[in-house]
Amino acid sequence: MSKFITRQLNTLRSLSKGLNTQLQLALRRVTKIPVKTKKHFYLAITGTMGAGKTTVAKLLAKKLKFHLIEENFGENAFLARFYQNMKRWAFHSQTFFLMEKIAQTLSTHNLLTNKNIIQDVPIYQDVFSYAKAQHIMANMDDAEWRLYQKIYRSFEPNLPRPNYLIYIKTSLESVKARIGSRGREFERRIPDGYLELLEMLNEAWMKKEANGIKVITVETDNLNLIKSSRDREVFIKKIIHSLKL
């Protein structure tokens, strides 16, 4: 394991340990007097690469006045290298994203005490779609995949779970068009088979890992959420109705 990954892992362990201590102290202070608390929503946006998850997350956060937790591609120094040499950099890139997402998800514990939250891509998609695809494609070997899962499973019990997953379901043709329009040069060479694999894995983990999390599926092939205000209103009304807000 590289020194970078080791340092990041130690930081996350300290964060998780500190959070556990805070939770235990809070529980000790709880009295038997019932306290009414306002229910706060934790929504996560999921869908295949290029489906429009970030657009949806920003749209809903603005309209519903939810706190937005965004993906952070820019800080992953391994991502561009990964698209140039997947076998060499898959483990590094996926582990970086995993550690970022663990820290991000742990932070929702405090945020949920007074905010509604929308997260652009839940950790389950990182683990069971993006990273698992790299193992299936042999870009991560068995030892790397086991280590990756071990890191995830060591933190998973302390991670809050979303109340709802909003699944942006999109055809391959629409996904390719949207990827092309956003101008990330390293994404232009992504083969169709990879996108199809991601979609299959998304469907699979939502059935298995999203146990107890309600899934709201929205097909967006015929919606232009960037240019059409009417389409945005149709989409938002569907989400509000599904959430019973």
Report DSSP letters for 84-140, one per residue.
H-HHHHHHHHHHHHHHHHHHHHHTHHHHTTT--EEEES-HHHIIIIIIHHHHHTTSS
Predicted confidence at residue 25, as pLDDT, reads 47
Residue-level pLDDT at 11: 61
Please list, in sequence order, all residues whose beta carbon lies within 8 angstroms of the beta carbon of residue 220, skipping any fewer than 6 positions away. 51, 52, 56, 168, 169, 170, 174, 235
Q: What's the pLDDT at 123?
A: 95
Produce one character per residue of 196-230: b if its CB has 16 or more CB atoms within 10 Å, e if not.
ebbbebbeebbeebbeebeeeebebeebebeeeee
Indicate whether 7 pLDDT > 80. no
- Element spanning 55, H or E: helix 53-64
Question: CA–CA separation, 109 vs 23, rounded Å?
Answer: 10
pLDDT over 70 at 12, yes or no: no
What pLDDT is stored for residue 5 in this prediction?
Answer: 62
The two structure tokens encoding residue 215 = 């899934």
Q: Residue 40: pLDDT band by 50, 70, 90 thresholds? A: confident
pLDDT for res 152? 96
Domains in the chain, ordered, with CATH?
3-243 (3.40.50.300)
Res 208: pLDDT: 84
pTM (2 d.p.): 0.79
Provide the pLDDT confidence category of residue 2 given band limits of 50, 70 and 90.
Answer: low
Q: What is the pLDDT of residues 49-107, one digit of tens each?
A: 888 899 999 999 999 999 999 987 667 889 888 888 999 999 999 999 999 999 999 98
119-153 pLDDT, tens per residue?
999 999 999 999 999 999 999 999 999 999 999 99
Please indicate whether residue 120 is annotated as part of the active site. Answer: yes
Residues 189-202 pLDDT 10s: 788 898 999 999 99
Is the per-residue pLDDT at 38 higher than 60?
no
Catalytic residue among 120, 192, 221, 231: 120
Extract the tokens encoding 143: 């030892």
The pLDDT of 209-222, averaged and rounded, is 87
Helices 3-29, 142-155: axis angle to 10 degrees equals 20
- Across the chain, mean pLDDT equals 84
CA distance 237 to 11: 41
